[in-house]
């Protein structure tokens, strides 16, 4: 936690009553409309932090926006609320408000909340706040993925955060895609879409191709999903068809779903052939879904042409 702020931090959890909260929110809204910055003294900051626990969403938003305008001076009180407040509503709002403040020194605090807060919404809010810091957040989010104590949900939040970082940290994601840890490679591959699609990153595209034959099935599965998101059916179809014969069922499912998403009606016969040979019932259900959807697309295409 940052320590370079001159005032002491009040850990009092008393919330404003409804009238007090409404009156303070009106004052703050008026100040924001005028372009004024709310007072940054400890007492006023603590009152605004207390307002983050109000049951009225619009008022909570006013307090959060005001604290965001106050900026770094509000960081200590927000970090205390994030870690120690008994109200999950306050902790959630504190994480989201730290995102508005945008001070990278809060990354360790946000990581602690992601890893240790019992409330999953607080965990997700912390991951979302971390993601705005781009390359500075990548290493910390990757640590979550390889932490043996991380839950599946926490890993999911970290992966989402990495995907959000996307093109903000191209070097960091490309490096992560070549990690020795399969969990990190999978998350990094999932985050390469914007670099490939919007920026034409040929290095990222090459990493995607390598991921399709990665020894770890989770990496192949993520790469197969990404192929379906790139809106390049002529490029993706041959590689997706190859993944229909992958040894892992999840990769085969993802390949069928990606072909369906790309509306690859030309692959219907291949899907039918795969289905006739498929022995995994869960994969068969996905194959049938893809076949049904693509058959509908094919019929629609023929009707439009006639």
Distances (CA, A) of 56 to 18, 70, 120: 9, 21, 21
- String of DSSP letters for 154-207: HHHHHHHHHHHHGGGSHHHHHHHTT-S-HHHHHHHHHT-HHHHHTT--HHHHHH
User: Alpha-carbon distance 25 to 153, whole Å?
Assistant: 35
Distances (CA, A) of 151 to 56, 143, 301: 32, 13, 45
SS (H, E, C) 73-139: HHHHHHHHHHHHCCCHHHHHHHHHHHHHHCCHHHHHHHHHHHHHCCCHHHHHHHHHHHHCCCHHHHH
> What is the rounded average pLDDT for all residues in the chain?
89
User: Alpha-carbon distance 212 to 104, whole Å?
Assistant: 35
Give pLDDT, residue 167. 67
| Residue 110 domain flag | no
User: Alpha-carbon distance 253 to 46, whole Å?
Assistant: 51
Q: How would you label 93-105 residue by residue, b for 16+ Cβ within 10 Å and e otherwise? A: bbbbbbbbbebee
Domain-terminating residue out of 181, 211, 241: 211
Give pLDDT, residue 290. 96
Residues ≥6 apart with Cβ < 8 Å to 299: none
Domain-terminating residue out of 179, 211, 243: 211
Residues 301 and 217 in one domain: yes
Give pLDDT, residue 99. 95
Neighbours of 235 (CB within 10 A): 12
Domain-terminating residue out of 150, 181, 211: 211
SS3 1: coil
Residues 234 and 202 in one domain: no
Residues 220 and 290 in one domain: yes
CATH number, position 191: 1.25.10
Domains contained in the chain, number: 3
Give per-residue pLDDT as tens, 62-106: 999 999 999 999 999 999 999 999 999 999 999 999 999 999 999
Residues 219 and 277 in one domain: yes
Give the domain extent around 291.
212-306
User: Alpha-carbon distance 83 to 151, whole Å?
Assistant: 19
User: Alpha-carbon distance 13 to 24, whole Å?
Assistant: 17
| Sign of the C-alpha dihedral computed for residues 231, 234, 235 and 238 taken in this order | positive
Give pLDDT, residue 1. 38
Residues 14 and 92 in one domain: yes
Q: Which residues of the chain have pLDDT under 50?
A: 1-11
Give pLDDT, residue 12. 52
User: Alpha-carbon distance 94 to 80, whole Å?
Assistant: 9
| Residue 122 domain flag | no
Instruction: Tokens for 97, please give them.
Output: 């408000």
CATH number, position 279: 1.25.40
Residues 206 and 217 in one domain: no
User: Alpha-carbon distance 265 to 244, whole Å?
Assistant: 15
Give pLDDT, residue 306. 63
| Residue 107 domain flag | no
Distances (CA, A) of 94 to 88, 100, 143, 221: 10, 10, 23, 35
pTM over 0.85: no
Residues 175 and 233 in one domain: no
User: Alpha-carbon distance 189 to 6, whole Å?
Assistant: 44
| Residue 127 domain flag | no
Residues 4 and 94 in one domain: yes
| Residue 112 domain flag | no
User: Alpha-carbon distance 226 to 59, whole Å?
Assistant: 40
User: Alpha-carbon distance 196 to 230, whole Å?
Assistant: 8
Distances (CA, A) of 305 to 269, 300, 301, 302: 21, 9, 6, 5
Residues 205 and 218 in one domain: no
Residues 146 and 164 in one domain: yes
């Amino acid at each position: 936690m940052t320590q370079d702020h001159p005032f002491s931090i009040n850990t009092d959890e008393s919330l404003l009553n409804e009238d007090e909260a409404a009156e303070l929110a009106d004052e703050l809204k008026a100040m924001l409309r005028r372009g004024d910055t709310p007072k940054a003294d400890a007492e006023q900051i603590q009152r605004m932090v207390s307002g983050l626990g109000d049951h009225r969403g619009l008022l909570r938003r006013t307090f959060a926006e005001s604290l965001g305008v106050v900026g770094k001076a509000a960081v200590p009180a927000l970090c205390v609320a994030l870690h120690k407040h008994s109200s999950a509503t306050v902790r959630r709002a504190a994480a989201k408000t730290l995102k508005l403040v945008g001070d990278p020194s809060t990354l360790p605090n946000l990581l602690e909340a992601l890893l240790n807060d019992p409330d999953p919404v607080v965990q997700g809010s912390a991951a979302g706040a971390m993601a705005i810091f781009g390359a500075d957040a990548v290493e910390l989010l990757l640590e979550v993925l390889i932490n043996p104590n991380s839950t599946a949900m926490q890993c999911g939040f970290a992966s989402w955060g990495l995907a959000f970082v996307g093109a903000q940290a191209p070097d960091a994601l490309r490096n992560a895609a070549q990690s020795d840890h399969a969990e990190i490679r999978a998350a990094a591959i999932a985050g390469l879409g914007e670099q490939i699609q919007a920026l034409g990153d040929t290095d990222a595209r090459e990493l995607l191709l390598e991921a399709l034959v990665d020894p770890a099935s989770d990496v192949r599965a993520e790469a197969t999903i990404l192929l379906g998101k790139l809106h390049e059916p002529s490029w993706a179809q041959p590689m997706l068809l190859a993944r229909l014969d992958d040894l892992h069922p999840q990769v085969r499912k993802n390949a069928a779903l990606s072909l369906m998403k790309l509306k690859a009606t030309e692959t219907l016969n291949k899907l039918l052939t795969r289905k006739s040979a498929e022995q995994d019932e869960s994969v068969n259900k996905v194959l049938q879904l893809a076949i049904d959807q693509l058959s509908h697309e094919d019929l629609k295409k023929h009707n439009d042409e006639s």
